């Protein structure tokens, strides 16, 4: 039975096809290729970037099963020392398209109707938001932020839903040990950027070259003691870190060293990002661990001690004034977000609430123009306000349906930590976004992260009825 099974049995899965040699190669491939790619991309050596770009472009021909892992782990990076952001954007789209061709055309996999309905619903929502934005906003000065272009990019990322589903559905919603290790390895490489910037400072040796000219945009984070993690903002790194943190805790829930090490890494992210929402999510995570894990008392004691020590070290190591500023404990800073919310609630008309103002950053820039002297805004920094403001009540209904689907998957799997980790991570991300910018309907790479993980959740929630009695 699963309750007493070792971790290897909990995450091991039947393969998509082939005999023992196929199983061996598939299990070892993610661990070898994925962390190796990102580690090589983190080395500032001239000429390596194009070699990695070629290698990444050739992956569909050599290892199509690895593509979902590459898409998911790419969300830990906006850019790297060797591979620029534009190349990573192109590779990410190529990996999504190539995997779908392999899955739907070459393998002829039949996708569940409800999965297609999710793609259609979100695609329709983006089309509606684009139409409204085009009518209301019209021309956008920067062509790259035109509503139809932003919606097109967002829809490509939505196709990651099919990637996540196609990846885990044949495996009955389970990750293999090598896949867990690959995700954790890539995350540690991204975490290394923040650590390097903390130790060596923010300079050409710790910040990707194509981001260096844009570094002024990150000064606001530096001034708060935060680190951009390969130019992924501290908020973005905090959000994407929820998946590996919860996933590793789910796999190592009975292991004292594994739990302690994972918590230590989670505290490192908290110290380097200094985001209130991430720290609040860590507190929520500890509460969720009660139904998620049948945890030994010793593990709980280590967790409490680790959190207490981490807090004590942070308070001694960080400048109290900087910590207060970073966590927005000062009166003026803490009131800014509530001012944004109050302005949004006050200025949105009945038509905005019903039909939305349209999709894209152009509409929000226009909406928040009167607050431009205070802060340049592209979002109301609340997922509920952002989704409703862009798409109206229809968008809010779809957003709530997404949250309900994820909650249902978590409740179905909460007794199996290795399975429950994925929907739990998404629930915590959505909880965080209640007081932060939303990545769900977004052309941002973090939208890719959300939709791939949501596809994994759909694969889990549909697969349990097919599990053999010995597992269920």
List the domain boundaries for the chain: 2-332+373-466
Assign residue 316 a region (left: φ > 0; alpha: ψ between -120 and 50; beta: otherwise).
Answer: alpha
Q: At 271, is the secondary structure helix, strand, or coil?
A: helix
CA distances from 250 to 202, 340, 416, 429 (A): 34, 37, 8, 16
On the CB side of 458, CA atoms within 13 Å amount to: 25
Write down the pTM of the prediction. Answer: 0.83
Closest CA to 264 of 222, 227, 313, 297: 313
Cβ contacts of residue 15 below 8 Å, gap of 6+? 22, 23, 26
Structural tokens at position 32: 């070898």
- Count CA atoms closer than 13 A to 135's CA, side-chain side: 10
On whether the CB atoms of residues 430 and 400 are closer than 8 A, the answer is no
pLDDT number for residue 219: 60
Q: How far is it, in rounded angstroms, from Cα 161 to Cα 81?
A: 29
Euclidean distance between CA atoms 86 and 419, whole angstroms:
34
Residue 217, helix vs strand vs coil: helix
C-alpha span between 433 and 439 (Å, rounded): 8
78 DSSP 8-state letter: S
Low-confidence ranges of the chain (pLDDT < 50): 1-26, 322-326, 329-334, 463-472
pLDDT in the model for residue 332: 43
Q: How far apart are CA 236 and CA 220, in angstroms?
A: 15
Q: Do residues 12 and 177 touch, judged by C-beta distance below 8 A?
A: yes
Report d(CA 8, CA 103) in Å as an integer: 27
* C-alpha span between 208 and 454 (Å, rounded): 30
Q: What CA–CA distance (Å, rounded) separates 60 from 68? A: 11
Characterise 293 by phi-psi region: left (phi > 0), alpha (psi -120 to 50), beta (else): beta
The DSSP-derived string for 19-69 is: -HHHHHHHHHHHHHHHHHHHHHHTS--TTHHHHHHHHHHHHHHH-GGGHHH
Cα dihedral 133→137→141→145 (10° resolution): -20
Neighbours of 167 (CB within 10 A): 26
Dist CA 78 CA 38 (whole Å): 12
Q: Give the H or E element holding residue 200.
A: helix 177-200
* Structure-token pair, residue 376: 């340049």
State both tokens at 169: 């559905």
Distances, alpha carbon 184 to alpha carbons 247, 360, 447, in Å: 9, 32, 20
pLDDT value for 15: 35
Q: Are 359 and 133 in contact (CB under 8 A)?
A: yes
Strand, coil or helix: 324:
helix
Look at residue 172 in the predicted model and tell me its pLDDT: 82
Both tokens assigned to 461: 């929630």
DSSP string, 362-393: HHHHHHTGGGTTT---SS-S-HHHHHHHHHHH
- Torsions phi, psi for 164 (to 5 deg): -60, -40
């Amino acid at each position: 039975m699963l309750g007493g099974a070792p971790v290897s049995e909990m995450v091991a899965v039947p393969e998509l096809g082939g005999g023992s040699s196929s199983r061996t190669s598939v299990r070892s491939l993610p661990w070898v290729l994925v962390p190796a790619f990102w580690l090589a991309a983190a080395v500032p050596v001239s000429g390596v970037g194009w070699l990695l770009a070629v290698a990444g472009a050739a992956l569909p021909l050599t290892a199509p099963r690895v593509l979902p892992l590459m898409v998911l782990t790419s969300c830990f990076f906006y850019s790297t020392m060797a591979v620029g952001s534009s190349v990573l954007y192109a590779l990410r789209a190529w990996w999504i398209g190539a995997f779908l061709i392999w899955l739907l055309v070459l393998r002829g996999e039949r996708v569940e109707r409800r999965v297609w309905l999710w793609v259609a619903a979100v695609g329709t929502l983006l089309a509606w938001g684009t139409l409204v934005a085009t009518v209301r906003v019209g021309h956008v000065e920067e062509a790259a932020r035109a509503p139809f272009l932003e919606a097109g990019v967002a829809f490509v990322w939505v196709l990651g839903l099919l990637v996540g589903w196609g990846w885990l559905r044949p495996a009955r919603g389970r990750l293999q040990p090598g896949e867990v290790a690959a995700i954790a390895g890539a995350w540690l490489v991204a975490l290394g950027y923040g650590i390097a910037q903390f130790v060596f400072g923010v300079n050409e040796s710790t910040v990707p070259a194509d981001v260096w000219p844009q570094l002024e945009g990150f000064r606001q984070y530096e001034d708060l003691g935060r680190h951009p993690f390969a130019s992924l903002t501290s908020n973005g790194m905090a959000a994407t870190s929820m998946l590996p943190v919860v996933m590793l805790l789910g796999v190592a829930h009975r292991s004292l060293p594994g739990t302690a090490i994972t918590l230590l890494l989670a505290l490192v992210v908290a110290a380097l990002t200094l985001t209130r929402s991430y720290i609040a999510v860590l507190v929520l995570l500890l509460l969720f661990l009660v139904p998620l894990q049948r945890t030994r008392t010793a593990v709980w004691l280590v967790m409490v001690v680790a959190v207490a020590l981490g807090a004590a070290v942070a308070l001694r190591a960080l400048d109290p004034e900087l910590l207060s500023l970073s966590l927005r404990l000062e009166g003026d800073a803490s009131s800014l977000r509530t001012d944004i919310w109050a302005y949004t609630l006050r200025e949105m008309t009945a038509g905005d609430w019903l039909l939305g103002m349209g999709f894209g950053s152009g509409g929000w820039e226009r909406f928040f123009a009167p607050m431009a002297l205070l802060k340049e805004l592209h979002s109301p920094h609340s997922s509920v306000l952002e989704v409703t403001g862009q798409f109206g009540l229809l968008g809010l209904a779809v957003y709530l349906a997404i949250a309900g689907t994820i909650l249902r998957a978590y409740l179905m799997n909460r007794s199996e930590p290795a399975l429950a980790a994925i929907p739990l991570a998404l629930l915590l991300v959505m909880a965080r976004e209640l007081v932060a910018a939303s990545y769900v309907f977004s052309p941002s790479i973090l939208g890719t992260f959300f939709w791939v993980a949501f596809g994994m959740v759909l694969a889990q929630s549909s697969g349990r009825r097919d599990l053999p009695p010995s597992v269920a």
